[in-house]
Amino acid sequence: MNSEAFRNQCCKDAESSFALNDSSLSDRIIQLEITKYLDEVFPNIESGSTSAEQTSLSKRRREDIQKNNGDEAANADDTANLHMDYSVVVKVKTLYVNSSLLASKSSFFYKLFFNGMKESKQTNITVRITTSEEVPFMELLKFMYTDSLNVTSLPSMLDVLMAADKFRVASCVRYCIRVLLNIPMTPESAVLYLELPYSVLMDDVIRRLVVAAKQYLVARYKDITKHQEELMGLPLAGVLALLSSDELQVASEDVVFDFMLKWARTQYPSLEERRQILRAKLIPFIRFPYLSCRKLKMFQTCNDFDRDFASRLVFEALHFKAETPHQQRIIAAELASPSRFFIERSYKYRPIKVVEFELPRKQCVVYLDLKRKECANLFPSGCVSSQVFYLGGQGFFLSAHCGVGRQSFSHCLGLFLGMQGNGPANFSVDFEFAVRSKPTIEYITKYKGNFTFTEVPAVSYRNFFCIPWTSFMAEDSLYFINDVLHLRVEVTIKNQPNIQ
Question: For residue 435, what is the domain's CATH number?
Answer: 2.60.210.10
Does 253 share its domain with 328?
A: yes
Q: Is residue 245 packed enough to be buried (19+ CB in 10 Å), middle (13-18) or exposed (0-12)?
A: buried
Buried b (16+ CB within 10 A) or exposed e, 419-455: beeebeeebebebbbbbbbeeeeeeeebeeeebebee
How far apart CA 449 and CA 436 sit, in angstroms, is 19
Q: Does residue 127 sit within a domain?
A: yes
Contact by Cβ (8 Å): 318, 290:
no
Rounded CA-CA distance 451/489 in Å is 14
Give pLDDT tens digits for 225-242. 999 999 999 999 999 999
The 3-class secondary structure across 146-199, one letter per residue, is HCCECCCCHHHHHHHHHHHHHCCCHHHHHHHHHHHHCCCCCHHHHHHHHCCCHH
Number of neighbouring beta carbons within 10 Å of residue 106: 23
CB atoms within 10 A of CB 363: 19
* In the predicted structure, residue 82 carries a pLDDT above the cut 50: no
Q: Kindly state whether residue 209 falls inside one of the protein's structural domains.
A: no
Whole-Å CA distances, 170 to 2, 68, 105, 182, 261: 27, 19, 7, 19, 42
State how beta strands 427-437 and 363-371 pair: unpaired
Find the Cα–Cα–Cα–Cα dihedral 358, 359, 360, 363, rounded to 10°: -30
CA–CA dist 103, 110 (Å, integer): 4
Whether the per-residue pLDDT at 407 is higher than 90: the answer is: no
Please check whether residue 444 is in contact with residue 435, taking contact to mean a CB–CB distance below 8 angstroms: yes
Phi and psi torsions of 128, nearest 5°: -110, 140
How many structural domains are present in the chain? Answer: 3
Closest CA to 444 of 492, 391, 481: 481
3-state secondary structure 22-65: CHHHCCEEEEEEEEEEHHHHCCCCCCCCCHHHHHHHHHHHHHHH
Residue 57 lies in a domain: yes
d(CA 460, CA 445): 15
Q: Would 482 be classed as within a structural domain?
A: yes
Residue 12 counted as domain residue: yes
pLDDT value, residue 346: 83
Q: State the pLDDT confidence band at 14, using cuts at 50, 70 and 90.
A: very low
Last residue within a domain, chosen from 305, 335, 365:
335
Q: Are residues 167 and 38 in the same domain?
A: yes
Q: Are 435 and 446 within 8 A, CB to CB?
A: yes
| Secondary structure class of 250 (helix, strand, coil) | coil
pTM above 0.85, yes or no: no
425 shares a domain with 322: no
Mean pLDDT of all residues in 42-51: 43
Q: What is the mean pLDDT of residues 320-332?
A: 63
Confidence of residue 41 (pLDDT cuts 50, 70, 90): low
Domain boundary (161, 183, 205) is at: 183
- CATH assignment of the domain containing 77: 3.30.710.10
- Examine the domain organization and report whether 408 and 477 are in the same domain: yes
Same-domain check for residues 9 and 157 = yes
Give the whole-angstrom CA distance, residue 334 versus residue 356: 30
The answer to whether residues 285 and 240 touch, using CB atoms and an 8 Å cutoff, is yes
Rounded-to-integer distance, Cα 292 and Cα 353, Å: 8
pLDDT of residue 326: 56
- As a whole-number percent, the residues of the chain with pLDDT over 90 amount to 54
374 and 474 belong to one structural domain = yes
d(C-alpha 69, C-alpha 71), whole Å: 5
Average pLDDT for residues 279-284, to the nearest whole number? 94
In a domain, 429, yes or no: yes
Do residue 14 and residue 39 come from a single domain?
yes
Per-residue pLDDT, 386: 93
Domain range enclosing 407: 349-493
The answer to whether the CB of 484 falls within 8 A of the CB of 469 is no
Residue 85 has pLDDT above 70, yes or no: no
On whether both 450 and 487 belong to a single domain, the answer is: yes
Q: Please name which of 253, 165, 147 lies closest in space to residue 207, comparing C-alpha atoms.
A: 165
End residue of a domain, out of 335, 367, 395: 335
Give yes or no: residues 326 and 409 share one domain: no
Distances in Å between the Cα of 420 and the Cα atoms of 388, 393, 396, 424, 458 are 8, 11, 5, 11, 9
Residues in contact with 329: Cβ distance below 8 Å, sequence separation at least 6, in sequence order: none
CA angle 344, 349, 351 (to 5 degrees): 50
Q: Would you say residue 179 lies in a domain?
A: yes
DSSP state of 77: T
Is 64 contained in some domain? yes
| Length of the chain measured in residues | 500
Distance CA 193, CA 156 (A): 12
Quote the DSSP letter at residue 263: H
In a shared domain, residues 67 and 133: yes
Task: Round the average pLDDT of the chain to a whole number and report it.
Answer: 82
- Residue of higher predicted confidence among 227 and 495: 227
Rounded to an integer, what is the distance from CA 77 to the centroid of its chain? 40
Average pLDDT on 208-227 reads: 93
Whether 39 and 158 share a structural domain: yes
Sign of CA dihedral 468, 469, 472, 475: negative
The CATH number covering residue 272 comes to 1.25.40.420
**CB distance 365 to 322 below 8 Å:** no
Over residues 423-469, the pLDDT tens digits come to 666 788 999 999 999 999 999 999 999 998 876 788 989 899 999 99
Give the pLDDT confidence score for residue 408 in this predicted structure. Answer: 62
Strands 383-386 and 353-357: unpaired
Contacts of 286 (CB under 8 A, 6+ apart): 243, 253, 256, 257, 260
Same domain, 10 and 100: yes
